[in-house]
Structure 1
Amino acid sequence: MAVIFKIVTNKCLFALILSIAIVFCLIHGWCNYSDNVILSSRRELIATKFDFTPFMPRHHHRKHLSPSPETEIDPIYGVEKRLVPTGPNPLHH
């Protein structure tokens, strides 16, 4: 009799824990969904009223350098040498 009561208790306990976990997951998912809807509408409202132009990057473009009149011809390959940028590789930090 005690063994049957223990099996039934274990099944009930498992069912109770499983149902609590499912309810928790549903509430958690619903709360996150409703928060995202509210935040996205707030962001849209703020974005429509706020002027972002002071924070936009201003690129000061350099004028293109005209090719120098002194072009060197490479004696090995027979083509003119080109200017190769030097400095740190931007792909490596």
Structure 2
Amino acid sequence: MAVIFKIVTKKCLFALILSIAIVFCLVHGWCNYSDNVILSSRRELIATKFDFTPFMPRHHHRKHLSPSPETEIDPIYGVEKRLVPTGPNPLHH
């Protein structure tokens, strides 16, 4: 009789823990869902009232460098010669 009682008690305990876990997961999921809905509606409201134009990229305002008129083509490599900076290398100290 005691063995049967232990088996029944273990089954009831397992069912109780399982049902508590399921209820906890459902409540936790519902709370997260309702919070996300509120946050997304707040974000949309803020986004409609805020002016984002100062933060937009301005690609069309760049100055384009024109090639210098004194470019010289290297006869060996077939490319234009460029000025190479001289002096101490700031990366080597």
TM-score normalised by L of structure 2: 0.72
Summarize deviations over 1:60-91 as a string: whole Å, max 9, x none. Answer: 94411110112232333223346899999999
Summarize deviations over 1:34-80 as a string: whole Å, max 9, x none. Answer: 11011111111122223344555667944111101122323332233
Summarize deviations over 1:6-27 as a string: whole Å, max 9, x none. Answer: 0100000000000000000001
Q: Identity of aligned pairs, percent?
A: 98
**What SS is found at the alignment partner of 1:60?**
helix
Q: Report the CA distance shift for 1:48/1:89 in structure 2 as closer, same or farther (over 3 A).
A: farther
Alignment gaps of 5+ in structure 2? none
After alignment, is 65-74 or 79-88 more displaced?
A: 79-88
Distance 1:84 1:25 in 2: 66
Q: Report the CA distance shift for 1:10/1:74 in structure 2 as closer, same or farther (over 3 A).
A: same
After alignment, is 8-17 or 72-81 more displaced?
A: 72-81
TM-score normalised by L of structure 1: 0.72
Aligned residue runs from structure 1 range 55-74, under 5 A: 56=56, 61-74=61-74
Q: Report the CA distance shift for 1:40/1:83 in structure 2 as closer, same or farther (over 3 A).
A: farther
Distance 1:26 1:90 in 2: 61
Alignment gaps of 5+ in structure 1? none
